[in-house]
Structure 1
Amino acid sequence: MTSPASAGGCPVHPAVPLSGPRFHTDPRGLYNEMRRDHGSVVPVELPGQVPAWLVVGYRELHQVTSSPELFPRDVSLWNQWPNIPPDWPLLPMVGQPMPSIYFTAGAEHRRHVSMVEPALESMDPFELRRVCEGLADRLIDSYCGRGAADLIAEYAEPLPVLVMAWLLGLPNEEGPHLAWTMKTLADGGADAQQGHMQFGAVMQRLVAMKKAMPGDDLTSRMLAFPGSFTDEEYVNDLMAITAAGHLTTADWIGNSLRLMLTDDGFAAALGGGRRSVGQAMNEALWEDTPTQILAGRWAARDTRLGDKAIRAGDMLLLGLGAANGDPHVRQHVSDNAVHAGNSAHFSFSHGEYRCPLPAQHIAEIIARTAIEVLLDRLPDVDLAVPAQNLVRRPSPFLRGMTSLPVVFTPVRAVGGFQ
């Protein structure tokens, strides 16, 4: 990778380490400093001194995601493979060459999409909403009588896993272990590789179970698709669907609730105002998107992006959160105008490799139902700690709360989904 200089003859700035507390405490300020020093395409350094480019400009990110032939999601192109140890902690996040909807490009990617998207689209949204409501009630029943809870550990994180387990046809007892594996993967720590292996083992058992006994679930619909897919491909695609759907949806719930509990502009939502729930969810995607950085794209040939020379095989990280806050596209528009019914954010990525539309709809149903049921059951919920004491997960890739302690008037249990 080249060592670029800023435009206009400014001094060369060193690559930005993709780590540190400011990614969780002040990402907007950090991204603005990156733009000042490097422009819209920033040289960054991943753990182990692994170089990459972080695209923080809205226009440049649109260019990358709209150019699948120039910037494919084909990890096999990466020019750093000789320098990547087999135990590199970010390997599960970046990926390895494998047959799946997430780590293939071109015709092979479209082959996987042709099997996965119809299966996702076939899910009944009304049945999904019903199941979400019942599972949300069941979780709230477990703490509603004590007048206090941690809405991350006891609600936002387990609910999407329980819903995904139902969608996939997984036994309920697999849910907690599944949640651990995916959170461990996303945090990119020492246990990431172990989490990835255990995640794969859960999905291998699921595929074997549904081949022997199909049901009315997403996995069975994928297996019934009239195409030639191997067990490995089914497992990889199920892992991609589940990983993309769990923690990002959990963080969407948590970040929206944090906004509603700390911003006076959303006080009406705590009284059951449905319109405010949708506004808070959309604002969270613009200002506090769960996926801040997405890996990745790889340059198919030498090219230029912004004012930077990109070499064939360079990895580009998609700065979704940074692009959502790019002042070049927001300088003439107020925040209210940006949020009000505007879905031109990059929170689901963009282009051929974006989050499939049916998956976006499923995530929205889960998140919105979670928030609405909570506010219906606990209408006077309030933060138990000062807002400045809330702590973010230590990851530059995903932005979510480690906890969201609240208090409320105790209420009786109602009995939830069985």
Structure 2
Amino acid sequence: MTQCPHAAGGAVPLSGPRFQTEPAQLYREIRRDHGAVAPVVLDGGLPAWLVLDYRELHQVTSDPVLFSRDSDLWNQWENVPADWPLLPMIGRKQPSILYTVGPRHAERAAMIGNALEAIDPFALKRFAEEFADELIDRFCSKGSTDIIADYAMLLPARVLARMYGVSDADGDALVGSINDMIDGRERALAGQQHLAATMLGLLADKHAEPGDDVATRMLADPGGFTDEEVMQDLMVMMAAGHQPTADWMGNSLRLMLTDDRFAASLSGGRHSVAEAMNEVLWEDTPTQNVAGRWAARDTHLGGRHIRAGDLLLLGIAAANSDPQVRVDGSALTGGNSAFLSFGHGEHRCPFPAQETAEVIARTGIEVLLDRLPDIDLAVAAERLTRRPSPWLRGLTNLPVVFTPTPAIGGRT
């Protein structure tokens, strides 16, 4: 059995309620006690390193040769059980863009980028508006709802499903599976299997009847990708496009409903929506920690000896609040986008995917505020809770009240 590199070094469990209740304080304490690179333990007792500081994270993501995305390098595979719930997040021999390196990765990235860039931006916004109106119609006459379950958790999947070529019914059914897979708990593997089956079905449909959609364009790419490769990449795109966007919406609305600085947006101001979304990417980013990179050889990072095959987790939220970068602790709104919430380097979130997420999230927030201008929290802010995941940070619910209004209907 491979020896744990920090079995007796006071490693921090990458689990527990503080990742939900007070992550910023937790990351400060880890940095204080362990420095820029901290020993952590994943579920099942598996060791890893958490990269907390901005400079070190930038270094790791800028050197794909030394800090590889090839998960086969991991020196702990012999200790990983077949039913490990984090396998969907830290997979082995998954032929997706997440774990492809070198020239083939560049080809995969180009294929995905081209398929997404071909989306008509006006159609994207129109679909987002229409689906947003349809969802709001379901609850607008009631005077109260849970914004997470009834709106934010549904809108991104619906829009992405339409753009990718998935039926509306299958898009709705994917929401729970994606959430289960990303949370990395007991239902993670089942969620991954359902997502894979849906994407395989989509590709079979598009072979039989091509359309003006992302899946068809990926199948037609001249790079010679197999259906398995396209399916794996569609899984990544759906999961990475839906859940973080839903959490971006929820976290931004929470900020706007609890912080007086954003009160103007609730009466029609538009600049505050963009500012709230930007601040969330600094202060409350949906993507908290990312797995990961693997050291191709022995090296040093942040004063730590990293062995060949060690797993490094990217501490996105911790790096965004690095005191060496955030000297005054300010919120840094107003367009400053030096955050690492979309990653960095050749494996960062593709720019067309970032644009798609921003259009969906911002449109969803703006339509909601237009339709329900007096929306307000139905509970005290301190009663809001987060999902139990160290990877993505999102609300479990966001109960609100508002003046009942009639449905507009018939627009979709």
Deviation at 1:176, TM superposition (A): 2.3
**Cα contact 1:65–1:351 (8 A) shared by 2:** yes
Identity level (%): 60
**Cα contact 2:323–2:329 (8 A) shared by 1:** no
Distance (whole Å) between structure 2 residues aligned to residue 289 and residue 180 of structure 1: 21
**Paired position in structure 1 for 2:349:** 355
Residue 269 of structure 1 pairs with residue 265 of structure 2:
yes
2:376 to 379, 382, 402: 382
Q: Which amino acid aligns with 1:29?
A: Q
Deviations 1:261-295 (A, max 9, x none): 00011000101111000000000100000010011
Distance (whole Å) between structure 1 residues aligned to residue 322 and residue 125 of structure 2: 35
1:3 to 3, 6, 28: 6
Distance (whole Å) between structure 2 residues aligned to residue 104 and residue 85 of structure 1: 23
Residue 286 of structure 1 pairs with residue 289 of structure 2:
no
Query: What SS is found at the alignment partner of 1:128?
Result: helix
Query: What SS is found at the alignment partner of 2:40?
Result: strand
Deviation at 1:297, TM superposition (A): 0.5
Deviation at 1:3, TM superposition (A): 3.0
Structure 1 runs of 4+ aligned residues shifted over 6 Å read: none
**Paired position in structure 2 for 1:335:** 330
* Unmatched segments (≥5 aa) in structure 1: 5-11
Deviation at 1:415, TM superposition (A): 1.7
TM-score by structure 2 length? 0.98
Distance (whole Å) between structure 2 residues aligned to residue 82 and residue 92 of structure 1: 17
**Cα contact 1:13–1:37 (8 A) shared by 2:** no
Within 5 Å, give how 1:50-69 maps onto structure 2.
Answer: 50-69=46-65
Deviations 1:361-386 (A, max 9, x none): 00000000000000000000000000
Distance (whole Å) between structure 1 residues aligned to residue 202 and residue 411 of structure 2: 22
* Count, aligned residues: 409
**Paired position in structure 1 for 2:91:** 95
**Paired position in structure 2 for 1:119:** 115
Deviations 1:28-52 (A, max 9, x none): 1100100111001010000110000
Distance (whole Å) between structure 2 residues aligned to residue 74 and residue 246 of structure 1: 24
Residue 180 of structure 1 pairs with residue 199 of structure 2:
no
Query: What SS is found at the alignment partner of 1:94?
Result: coil
Distance (whole Å) between structure 2 residues aligned to residue 328 and residue 31 of structure 1: 14
Residue 401 of structure 1 pairs with residue 395 of structure 2:
yes
Q: Which amino acid aligns with 1:99?
A: P
Distance (whole Å) between structure 2 residues aligned to residue 59 and residue 334 of structure 1: 17
**Cα contact 1:287–1:321 (8 A) shared by 2:** yes
Deviation at 1:13, TM superposition (A): 4.7
Distance (whole Å) between structure 1 residues aligned to residue 38 and residue 104 of structure 2: 30
Q: Which amino acid aligns with 1:366?
A: I
Deviation at 1:416, TM superposition (A): 5.2
Distance (whole Å) between structure 1 residues aligned to residue 228 and residue 41 of structure 2: 32
Distance (whole Å) between structure 1 residues aligned to residue 31 and residue 339 of structure 2: 19
Distance (whole Å) between structure 1 residues aligned to residue 76 and residue 269 of structure 2: 51
TM-score by structure 1 length? 0.96
* Unmatched segments (≥5 aa) in structure 2: none
**Paired position in structure 1 for 2:220:** 224
**Cα contact 1:13–1:38 (8 A) shared by 2:** no
Distance (whole Å) between structure 1 residues aligned to residue 259 and residue 138 of structure 2: 27
Deviations 1:193-220 (A, max 9, x none): 1111111000000000001100011101
Distance (whole Å) between structure 2 residues aligned to residue 390 and residue 183 of structure 1: 19
Deviation at 1:417, TM superposition (A): 4.4
Within 5 Å, give how 1:165-244 maps onto structure 2.
Answer: 165-244=161-240
Distance (whole Å) between structure 1 residues aligned to residue 218 and residue 104 of structure 2: 16
In 2 relative to 1, CA 417–229 (structure 1 residues): closer, same or farther, beyond 3 Å? farther
